[in-house]
Chain A
């Protein structure tokens, strides 16, 4: 294989760019290093398809499995059960070399730019690293691609930034470097885990706009992982709401924000404020309790212990399947039966 791994374009593939079926990512808990005592079911039966060029958001609270899902898609965790097909190839069948090439096809934008960039490397070296790992040994070629990636994220002139160290950049600029690093291998898909949660409001929108432009220009598939429903509206096509390792609701952005169907999505939306002086006058409706343990999730619907509409004998016994209460709008809740 003489071609650079990153340059191998997948054979013309129609259908979804990413297809995930019944994915489970469980982490074994062991005592004294060998006694199995249980499994943390971080991702517990998740299925979805993504089209090329589509932008989707996985929304949920901490511990709902959204980051484990992202890391499974990136090939960092092995699925315990179920399948991930990327451009028609199953992730499970890849050998080590193919897995490396696969990882070059998916860019990863980490959550915390301050932690994601090694402080002792200059920007040029940080961006050269993935190219070296993927076997781009030609120095001028590397520099050409690094410059292109920096220009892409509007850090220009690129030459001026390549010699700088992360601490010399502002938070927004650091996050641009993280994005440039994800782009330098010219991936087909970007996974962005909370790309703006560490940034100030005025900078957030700028980074989201940047991601939107890059996606449009390269026809990238973009997967956002976020806890913040209010930032997704203008930057994604579809939303998946996750709770305790499962997708509980999936719909087009506007439809989900305006007509949330699952009681959990409704609670999330009700808890969010748009800035308004009236907010101080009344308390918000918040479901009691906390998200369940992923070690021993409750039987039936996982939200039932906190759900104001829980029906005894149904919700606490049987797992709800995906209903389609509105066209193209799926919700896993017995209320739609």
Chain B
């Protein structure tokens, strides 16, 4: 029997309670992440990508209305785990998270070395001495000098703080690191050098990554596969090569055409209209209102179709029979 994938997510749902209804932030998400694989979850603001990260690690806000589906780690279902068991067995041990703007969430009055060592001490119960030694190795991994262990967050630049946060996510040697917009607040050169580090870490260790971002160009720096989200759902899931050179979903195509490129003379084009409200998503295809190729069938919700090997698309155009 072949080994199950590191992470298998099926029909993941996360709904929030708001005044006058519910918001379906994550609405039936399926994907796998293999070992040493980097999956990019791409989407524009409000598509539910950060909620997805929270759902995967079960760091949920208080107004959760419904949280369900299946999250298997190494073939073991974790959805029925109690909060305590999940904390002990999964969070930080197997899967760690770098939250959006995490570099600004470092404790300002604690030396960064102690903060990086903290997951080892609280989750694994390591002694301070051993944990600090490991923290030093983690600093080395992300390209921060060991001297910085003794510094406070305000003494570091934004890029250094972001590296420290990465070190914290890597220090427990998890199988999977989820990063929510890890470089979008940083300068171009800093961003490039952090992406370089991540590539190196992925090459040298056996770590898998989920990179959540809105930035199409940066996403291609690490991606083995890409999942594009729209209105709470994945609309295209494909290997990086097909996604970046030959996207299949009309939304993917329009999104790629809206990205300004350095070495291209054609003008980028914007996507008219706005995404639907997640409180009351349309019954049919959620992109239909903005889609130039919509037809009758789009009034019903499309499933995931596989027009090519390694490319899944939620669009009637790619169903058997296509437009007919």
**Physical interaction between A and B:** yes
Residues in A lying within 8 Å of B, measured CB to CB? 61-62, 170-171, 200-206, 209, 227-231, 233-234, 257, 267-269, 271-277, 279-280, 283-284, 286-287, 290
Is B17 interfacial (CB 8 A cutoff)? no
Is B245 interfacial (CB 8 A cutoff)? yes
Question: Given A200-B44, A286-B193, A205–B188 Cβ distance below 8 Å?
Answer: no
Closest 5 CB pairs of A and B: A271-B192, A206-B270, A202-B271, A61-B187, A200-B44
Contact of A275 among B157, B190, B244 (CB under 8 A): B244
Is B259 interfacial (CB 8 A cutoff)? yes
Stretch from B5-13, B69-77, B260-268 contacting the other chain? B260-268
User: Count of chain B residues with Cβ under 8 Å from any Cβ of A?
Assistant: 50
Contact of B159 among A268, A279, A287, A290 (CB under 8 A): A290
Find chain B residues with CB under 8 A from A170 CB: 274
CA distance in complex: A290, B220 (Å): 25
**When the two chains form their complex, are residues B262 and A274 in contact, meaning their CB atoms are under 8 A apart?**
yes
Residues in B lying within 8 Å of A, measured CB to CB? 38, 44-45, 157-159, 187-193, 195-196, 199-200, 214-224, 239-241, 243-245, 254-256, 258-264, 267-271, 274
Which B residue sits closest to A283, measured CB to CB?
A: B196
Which A residue sits closest to B224, measured CB to CB?
A: A280
Which B residue sits closest to A235, measured CB to CB?
A: B260
Q: What are 11 sample pairs from A and B whose C-beta atoms fall under 8 A apart?
A: A62-B187, A200-B214, A202-B254, A202-B255, A269-B262, A274-B263, A275-B256, A276-B244, A277-B223, A280-B222, A284-B195
Q: A276-B244, A277-B245 are in contact. List 19 more A-B contacts (CB 8 A).
A: A201-B259, A202-B254, A205-B270, A268-B188, A271-B189, A272-B192, A272-B217, A273-B217, A274-B262, A275-B244, A276-B220, A276-B245, A277-B223, A277-B243, A279-B220, A280-B240, A283-B199, A283-B200, A287-B189
> Which of B158, B195, B215, B216 has the most A CB atoms < 10 Å from its CB?
B195
Contact of A286 among B196, B239, B241, B260 (CB under 8 A): B196
Which A residue sits closest to B290, measured CB to CB?
A: A202
Find chain B residues with CB under 8 A from A284 CB: 192-193, 195-196
Which B residue sits closest to A203, measured CB to CB?
A: B270
**When the two chains form their complex, are residues A271 and B188 in contact, meaning their CB atoms are under 8 A apart?**
yes
Contact of A201 among B158, B189, B222, B258 (CB under 8 A): B258
